[in-house]
Amino acid sequence: MWVMLTINSTTFSYFTLSAYFDAGLFEYLSFMIILSLYILTVCSNLLLIVVICMNRSLHEPMYMFLCSLFVNELYGSSGLFLLLLVQILSDIHTVSASLCYLQIFCVYTYANVEFCNLAVMSYDRYLAICCPLQYNMHMNHKRTAILITLTWLYPFLAITVLISLSASLQLCGNVINKVYCDNYSVVKLACFDTTVNNVYGIAYTIATICVVIYIFYTYIKILKVCLFGSKQTRQKALSTCTPHLASLINFSCGCFFEIVQSRFNMKHVPHMLRIFLSLYWLTCQPLFNPVLYGLNLTKIRIMCKNLVLGQM
C-alpha cells in the first residue's frame, strides 16, 4: 500500500527520521555493533526454536509457548534492525510512507504478541502449579494450538485497525523525531481532529494494561500456593516462573520508558540516552529471553548443549 501524504498542497510519500545525527567515522562502528546484535539475536532465538521443534520431549505446552515467544523475537527484531542498519549508513534519513507504516505494524504487533504470549505462559504455569491434577485436561494439544493462534491473531487484527486509522489522517508534517517509525509520532503530525485515533489508542492501551494485570494476578496466585505448599512445589514454581517474571518485568520497564519518552518533553535528557531508551524495549528483550530461558530451564540447556556439540 503506497500512502500519499499532503502538506500545503505539496504531495510527498516519505517520512524523515530526525533523531539520527552525523556520527562521522563512528557510524561504521555503530553499524557493526547493531549488525552483531542482530546476528546474535537471530542465531540465539533460531537455536532455541530448532531445539524445541526437533525434540519430542519438548513438545509440551510450556515449551510450545516458548517457541512462539522466540519466533516473535525474530519477527520483532527484524522489523527494527533491518531498517536501522540501512538508516545508519544513509546520508538522508528518509523512509517511504508505506515502509514506515509497515515498520509500525511490525513493531506494534511484536509488542502485543509479546504480552499475549507472556499471558498464556502465566496461565499455563498457574494450571501446572495450582491445579496439577487438572493440568492435562485443561492444557491439551488442541487448547495449546488455540491459545497460540489467538496470541498472534488478536494483535494482528488490533494493529491493522490502528494503522488504518493512522494512514487515513491528513498530515501537516513528515518529520518523526525518532530512529524508527512510531504510530504516536505520526498521529501528532495530523492537521485535523484525531479523536477516533485517540479513543482507539486509549482502548488499545487499556486492553494491554489488562493483559499485564492478569499476568501479575496469576503469579500472585502462584505465590500464595508456594507459600503454603511443599518444598517440591516451591522449587518447581521458582525454576519455571522466575524466567517468565524476569522477562515480563524487563519488557514492561522497556515499554514504560518508551511511553514516557513519547508522551512527555524529554529535551533535558541527553540525546544518546533518549535513543537508547527508545531502542531498549525492542533490542534487549530478543537478546534477553534466549539467555534467560536457555540458562534457567534445564531441559533446554541440555538440549542446546547436545545440539551444539553434535550429539543429537
Measured distance CA(216)–CA(226) in Å, rounded: 15
- Report pLDDT digits (tens) over 23-76: 667 778 888 988 999 999 999 899 889 888 888 878 889 889 999 999 999 999
- Using DSSP, state whether 25 is helix, strand or coil: coil
pLDDT given for residue 274 in this prediction: 79
150 in Cβ contact with 116 (< 8 Å): yes
- All three cell numbers of 224, joined, read 500464595
Confidence of residue 21 (pLDDT cuts 50, 70, 90): confident
Q: What is the mean pLDDT of residues 245-264?
A: 83
Structural domains of the chain in order of their starting residue, each with its CATH number: 13-308 (1.20.1070.10)
Q: What is the mean pLDDT of residues 195-204?
A: 90
Average pLDDT for the chain: 84
Tell whether the model's pLDDT for residue 12 goes beyond 80. Answer: no
Tell whether the model's pLDDT for residue 174 goes beyond 90. Answer: no
Q: pLDDT above 70 covers what percent of the chain?
A: 87
Q: 184 vs 144, 258, 264, CA distance in Å?
A: 34, 11, 12
pLDDT given for residue 307 in this prediction: 64
275 in Cβ contact with 179 (< 8 Å): yes
167 in Cβ contact with 72 (< 8 Å): no
Higher pLDDT, 297 or 203: 203
pLDDT given for residue 10 in this prediction: 40
Tell whether the model's pLDDT for residue 11 goes beyond 50. Answer: no
Q: 98 vs 76, 102, 150, 194, 223, CA distance in Å?
A: 18, 6, 27, 20, 46
With b for 16 or more beta-carbon neighbours within 10 A and e for fewer, the 208-238 pattern comes to beebbeebeebbeebeebbeebeeebbebbe
Higher pLDDT, 70 or 271: 70
pLDDT given for residue 23 in this prediction: 64
- Report pLDDT digits (tens) over 94-152: 899 999 999 999 999 999 999 999 999 999 988 888 888 888 888 888 999 999 999 99
Q: What is the mean pLDDT of residues 207-220?
A: 90
Q: What is the mean pLDDT of residues 73-101?
A: 89
pLDDT given for residue 8 in this prediction: 46
- All three cell numbers of 179, joined, read 530512529
Confidence of residue 250 (pLDDT cuts 50, 70, 90): confident
